[in-house]
């Protein structure tokens, strides 16, 4: 068994699937799915397993998936559904006609017309005569009405993933059409992030009472640890509980991220398929850091982080620089990013905690409160402009929320924040480069030790 079959960050897990039985999520979804004319709204943080849950309950061959970001109009939603079903964009129906007349010139003649075509003809003859013709008409897809006709009352379900990405200009009309579809027996499931969970109802208040909510919270560390425990057990590898806890702590409530971390740890300890016999593998701090660095390549926020670090263009006076405890210098934007990245990592930081953390990362006088507030407002705008509808951070004036765990992971695990730093000269090159070299050497030593122990 290969490790890619065990840890599946971009696929539905089987060996490492955790059903989170305490939350009864699967049962809730099954119950609501069996309830006629009900729209199901699945909400949860980014990368928290919403799609995995839906596909676990509803067979994939019966799930008609449409991503909200790809919907360009209300009609486009149903066009995509019909496209999934293989319905032709245009159907041509032919109508053939045949005619026969028999008779004689005398009064005893008779007329027989099996099929009557549009138009008419007259004839005066003895004997019989026949003729025919063909007409055709083309029909285009009929959107919602055709979807209702095709799948109403069936086990098929329309799954609108990332519903919150649908353009606001179309959301109200789509809400009305979803209501009509559900009333006619079409099963509808939507998925969105928590702070946009009620978008389905808000798009059409008449849906209130017809929408069943299934809410997914961030995964707990113990739930995430089960992914590592199940997966490495299948590979005949035993990790210390301490290592499982550290892996879970860096996944920030995301099972998808936990899958990626475990996959890359396997690569780092040279386990690419199941071992012949059970083996306990010791994983040191340096090897863990290298695993996180490797995983960060799957969560690339380089462009976003560069924009947040740079801040908006300044006019006139340059920003004040500060000395930081990582050996770098920078302005208020770097101070905030270092504050977010420091231990213990948190997905939500109240304003007071941000101030405290900024002071802790500064060696000299820290930025003043008004400067920090202004910078947070600018960072919110930069992030929203960089990724419309899916900004990884949210600042509401009272607290900063990291809405995408991958962003926080990249901020902490990658070298990007280090690379962006105007670093102080140590007389021996860049301070951070020396640390990286030491880290690489330590990882190589740990890997050699692991291989020798196997031999």
Q: Are residues 284 and 348 in the same domain?
A: no
Q: Note the pLDDT of residue 450.
A: 56
Residue 356 counted as domain residue: yes
Contact in structure between 328 and 351 (CB atoms under 8 Å): no
Do 251 and 267 share a domain, yes or no?
yes
Residue 336: inside a domain:
yes
pLDDT single digits (tens) 109-135:
443 333 333 344 444 444 554 555 565
Same domain, 74 and 159: yes
Q: Look over the chain and give the mean of its residue pLDDT values, rounded to a whole number.
A: 84
Q: What is the pLDDT of residue 121?
A: 44
Q: Residue 219: name the closest of 18, 13, 58 by CA.
A: 18
Classify the phi-psi angles of 86: left when phi > 0, otherwise alpha if psi is within -120 to 50, otherwise beta.
Answer: left
What is the DSSP-derived secondary structure letter of residue 159?
E
First and final C-alpha spacing in the chain: 21
Establish if 187 belongs to a structural domain: yes
Whether 210 is in a domain gets the answer yes
pLDDT at 46: 81
State how many domains the chain has: 3
Report if residue 78 sits inside a domain: yes
Alpha-carbon distance of 262 to 247, in angstroms, equals 8
Enumerate residue ranges in the chain where pLDDT < 50: 101-126, 129, 425-437, 440
As a whole number of angstroms, the distance between CA 322 and CA 307 comes to 19
| Same domain (yes/no): 308, 189 | no
Query: Do residue 190 and residue 50 come from a single domain?
Result: yes
376 and 307 co-located in one domain:
yes
pTM for the complete prediction? 0.74
Statement to judge: residues 77 and 162 lie in one domain: yes
8 A C-beta contact, residue 367 and residue 352: no
39: helix, strand or coil: strand
For the domain that residue 151 is a member of, what is the CATH number?
3.40.50.300
Domain co-membership, 211 together with 225 = no
Same domain, 187 and 273: no
Residue span of the structural domain in which 316 resides: 302-424
Q: Report whether 163 contacts 192 (CB < 8 A).
A: yes
């Amino acid at each position: 068994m290969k490790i890619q079959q065990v840890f599946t960050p971009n696929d539905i897990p089987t060996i490492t699937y955790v059903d989170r039985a305490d939350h009864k999520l699967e049962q809730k979804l099954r119950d609501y799915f069996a309830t006629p004319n009900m729209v199901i709204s699945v909400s949860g943080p980014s990368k928290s397993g919403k799609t995995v849950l839906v596909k676990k309950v509803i067979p994939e061959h019966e799930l008609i998936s449409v991503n909200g970001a790809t919907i360009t109009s209300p009609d486009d939603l149903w066009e995509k559904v019909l496209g999934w079903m293989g319905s032709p964009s245009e159907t041509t129906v032919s109508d053939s006609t045949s005619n026969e007349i028999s008779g004689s010139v005398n009064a005893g003649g008779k007329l027989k017309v099996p099929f009557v075509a549009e138009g008419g003809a007259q004839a005066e003859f003895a004997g019989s005569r026949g003729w025919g013709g063909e007409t055709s008409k083309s029909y285009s897809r009929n959107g919602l009405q055709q979807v209702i006709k095709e799948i109403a009352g069936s086990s098929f379900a329309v799954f609108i993933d990332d519903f919150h990405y649908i353009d606001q200009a179309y959301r109200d009309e789509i809400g009305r059409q979803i209501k009509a579809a559900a009333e006619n027996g079409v099963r509808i499931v939507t998925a969105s992030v928590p702070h946009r969970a009620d978008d389905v109802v808000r798009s059409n208040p008449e849906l209130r009472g017809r929408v069943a909510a299934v809410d997914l919270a961030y995964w707990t560390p113990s739930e995430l640890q089960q992914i590592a425990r199940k997966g490495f057990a299948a590979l005949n590898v035993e990790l210390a509980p301490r290592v499982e806890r550290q892996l879970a702590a860096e996944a920030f409530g995301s099972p998808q991220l936990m899958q990626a971390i475990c996959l890359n740890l396997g690569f780092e300890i040279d386990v690419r398929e199941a071992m012949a016999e059970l083996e306990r593998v010791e994983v040191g701090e340096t090897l863990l850091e290298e695993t996180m660095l490797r995983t960060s390549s799957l969560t690339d926020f380089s462009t976003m982080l560069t924009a947040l670090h740079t801040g908006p263009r300044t006019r006139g006076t340059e920003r004040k620089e500060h000395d930081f405890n990582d050996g770098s210098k920078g302005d208020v934007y770097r101070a905030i990013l270092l504050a977010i990245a420091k231990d213990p990592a948190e997905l939500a930081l109240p304003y007071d905690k941000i101030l405290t953390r900024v002071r802790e990362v500064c060696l000299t006088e820290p930025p003043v409160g008004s400067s920090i507030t202004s910078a947070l407002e600018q960072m919110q705008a930069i992030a929203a402009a960089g990724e419309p509808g899916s900004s990884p951070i949210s600042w509401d004036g009272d607290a900063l929320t990291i809405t995408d765990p991958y962003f926080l992971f990249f901020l902490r695990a990658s070298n990007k924040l280090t690379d962006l730093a105007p670093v102080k000269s140590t007389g021996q090159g860049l301070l951070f480069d020396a640390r990286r070299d030491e880290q690489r050497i330590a990882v190589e030593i740990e890997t050699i030790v692991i291989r020798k122990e196997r031999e």
